[in-house]
């Protein structure tokens, strides 16, 4: 059986549960200091040994919220970047929608894996740390797309991520942000740490204007997970 099995497959889910237990025990799994948290992502991909069941966030398909948005916002050759692209599905959706797409992830293993999954891709994949990006990326992208990466970062890392991501958007460009959400008075524990409105509104401190926000739920066995898809525009 291929590793690219759908999540409803019972055997895949059993492997996922086992992996989740194992990686939850690793240093950095629950947050902690910057180095430990970032090292945790490296370890998760490395120890997965090529099995996507061992990557808890790998759906092996682009997120519906992105596909739906792209159907109404085709790229027409504009330049896009996917932040923390993991195994590449969202980046591939951007490219399929007509964006000239670049995508990066902290983990070299994730990038090698994404390239292997999509050998004929037009996406330019790169291993890079959000907190140490190439200078030429500043203000360079017509669309910056962030999905589930901010929610995986807490505290100072989250605050810094919001600043850095803002800086990538070109004048006249957009940011599309998709994350778990909670009310301002929510106290949901992470990881992942759902975002509060006051947190995504911090993009406005860095020259972006919130133009649309949409709330939706994703249902999982025994729970409902609130999400937000927010769009921001950078004035020319």
Ligand X SMILES: C[S@@+](CC[C@H](N)C(=O)[O-])C[C@H]1O[C@@H](n2cnc3c(N)ncnc32)[C@H](O)[C@@H]1O
Q: Is the CB of 128 or the CB of 174 nearer to ligand X?
A: 128
Residue 208: other Cβ atoms inside 10 A: 26
Residues in contact with 132: Cβ distance below 8 Å, sequence separation at least 6, in sequence order: none
Length of the chain in terms of residues written: 236
Cβ-contact 173, 226 below 8 angstroms: no
Q: Is the CB of 8 or the CB of 77 nearer to ligand X?
A: 8
**Shortest Cβ distance from residue 37 to ligand X (Å)?**
8
**Shortest Cβ distance from residue 236 to ligand X (Å)?**
28
Helices vs strands, H then E, count in the chain: 7, 7
Q: Using CB under 6 A, pick the residue from 9, 129, 204, 214 that binds ligand X.
A: 129
CA 6 – CA 53 distance, rounded (Å): 10
Binding mask 48-77 for ligand X (x = CB under 6 A): ---------x-----x--------------
113 binds ligand X (CB under 6 A): no
Q: Using CB under 6 A, pick the residue from 13, 26, 29, 38 that binds ligand X.
A: 38
- Which listed range, 2-10, 126-134, 195-203, 216-224, lies at the site for ligand X (CB under 6 A)? 126-134
**Shortest Cβ distance from residue 30 to ligand X (Å)?**
14
**Shortest Cβ distance from residue 41 to ligand X (Å)?**
4
Q: Is the CB of 193 or the CB of 203 nearer to ligand X?
A: 193
CA 34 – CA 51 distance, rounded (Å): 26
- Which listed range, 104-112, 118-126, 165-173, 195-203, lies at the site for ligand X (CB under 6 A)? 104-112
With b for 16 or more beta-carbon neighbours within 10 A and e for fewer, the 60-74 pattern comes to bebbebbeebbeebe
Residues in contact with 56: Cβ distance below 8 Å, sequence separation at least 6, in sequence order: 16, 19, 20, 23, 44
**Shortest Cβ distance from residue 187 to ligand X (Å)?**
21
179 binds ligand X (CB under 6 A): no
CA 134 – CA 13 distance, rounded (Å): 38
Q: Using CB under 6 A, pick the residue from 19, 65, 95, 106 that binds ligand X.
A: 106
Residues in binding contact with ligand X, number by CB under 6 A: 19
CA 146 – CA 177 distance, rounded (Å): 5
Binding footprint of ligand X on the chain (CB under 6 A): 38, 41, 57, 63, 84-86, 90, 105-107, 110, 129-131, 147-149, 152
């Amino acid at each position: 059986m291929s590793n690219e099995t759908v999540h409803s497959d019972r055997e895949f889910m059993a492997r996922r549960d086992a992996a989740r237990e194992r990686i939850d025990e690793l240093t950095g799994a629950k947050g902690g200091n910057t180095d430990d948290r970032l090292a945790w992502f490296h370890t998760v991909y490395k120890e997965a040994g090529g099995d996507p069941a061992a990557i808890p966030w790998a759906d092996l398909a682009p997120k519906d919220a992105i596909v739906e948005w792209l159907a109404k916002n085709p790229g027409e050759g504009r330049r896009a970047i996917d932040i923390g692209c993991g195994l590449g599905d969202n980046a591939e959706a951007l490219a399929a929608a007509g964006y000239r797409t670049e995508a990066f992830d902290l983990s070299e293993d994730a990038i090698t894996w994404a390239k292997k999954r999509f050998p004929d891709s037009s996406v330019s994949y790169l291993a890079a740390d959000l907190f140490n990006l190439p200078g030429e990326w500043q203000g360079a992208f017509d669309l910056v797309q962030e999905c589930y990466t901010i929610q995986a970062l807490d505290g100072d890392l989250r605050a810094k991520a919001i600043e850095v991501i803002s800086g990538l958007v070109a004048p006249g460009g957009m940011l599309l942000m998709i994350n778990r959400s909670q009310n301002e008075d929510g106290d949901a524990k992470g990881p992942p740490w759902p975002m509060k409105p006051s947190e995504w509104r911090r993009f406005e401190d860095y020259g972006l204007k919130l133009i649309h926000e949409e709330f939706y739920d994703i249902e999982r066995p025994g729970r409902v997970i609130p999400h937000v898809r927010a769009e921001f525009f950078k004035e020319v």
